[in-house]
Amino acid sequence: MSLYQRAREKEEKVFLSLTGSTFAEFDELLPFFQAAWEDARNASYHQDPSRQRQPGGGQKPALKTHEDRLFFILYYLKTYPLQEVMAFHFDLSQGQVNDWIYRLSRILQAALDRYGCLPERNPEQVQETAADTPEREFALDGTERERQRPRDPDAQSAYYSGKKKKHTVKNNLLVGVKDRLVKYLGQTHEGKKHDKKICDEEQPTYPEGSRLLQDTGFQGYAPEGVMTYQPKKKPRGKELSEDDKESNALISRVRIMVEHVIAGVKRLRIVKEVFRNTKEKFADLVMELACGLHNFRTLARSKIADF
């Protein structure tokens, strides 16, 4: 019996703790994952003109079913065990686990894209893709993730975050206030880079008439045609007025939502714990998957609740 089958026979809370998904959410995502797998397999077949076997021929994969494959990658992202531990649980070698992780991560990315829940990555397209956001009200915030200490001295300096006192990577997130979806995920930068500087470099666009709530880390960031709201800092040696305090409290009550969204994204331990993978650009991919899975859960639970 596979680990997926054993987990499926347990209580739903056990399955949720292993994958971050309920039974219904897993079943909702599975057809999209299967279609993405078939597309990738067919594309691989056509890219190799010397291949003689039809798709599906040859040695059978160790993870035999689509359920096993989806469970494998969700389990890895949610619990983030060592690859040797994964090898023990799934009866594979460490090398096989390594191959499956990077292969299935791309399949999952394609599946989430098919479902329509991946965040926008192109800053020039945010204006178009986020146009249907309720009331066009957004919150902007940055989030950091700890990574292993680089060996190169220059990289150590670049990735050292004075805020976290650790070596980190950083992304900016644009979140819809009403629907709580990650609309835009900025590129992954070294932890030393300031939140506002990232926005100045990426220059994401916004739908006309947007309202943008941001924290003091974006002081001076005011994109054209957007109403921005951020708490006022206490003047040196003075106190804020009562009106300013009330305004700050109101902004904070709305902005706490983005912190809840980031907490939802970081339900996956791969973006919460010290990042160990060394494959180039994989740190960026797993953050995109984490945001996509948060969006998927939010949309799927709304969809399932309507039935």
What are the C-alpha distances in Å from 181 to residues 19, 161, 261? 20, 27, 8
CA–CA separation, 30 and 42 (whole Å)? 18
pLDDT given at position 304: 67
Tokens of 179: 């629907």
Strands, E assignment, 108-165? 137-146, 160-161
> Judging by DSSP bridges, how do beta strands 160-161 and 166-176 pair with one another?
antiparallel
Per-residue pLDDT of the chain (307 residues; tens, 9 = 90+): 899 999 999 999 999 999 999 999 999 999 999 999 999 988 877 666 666 666 666 566 789 999 999 999 999 999 999 999 999 999 999 999 999 999 999 999 999 999 999 999 999 999 999 999 999 999 999 999 999 999 999 999 999 998 889 999 999 999 999 999 999 999 999 999 999 999 999 999 999 999 999 988 898 899 998 999 988 888 888 888 888 888 888 888 888 899 999 999 999 999 999 999 999 999 999 999 999 999 999 999 887 666 5
pLDDT given at position 178: 93
pLDDT given at position 167: 96
CA–CA separation, 302 and 117 (whole Å)? 13
DSSP assignment of 173-216, as one string? EEEETTT--EEEEPPPEETTS-HHHHHHHH-----TT-EEEE-G
Strand partners of residue 139: 175, 213
CA–CA separation, 195 and 139 (whole Å)? 14
pLDDT given at position 48: 66
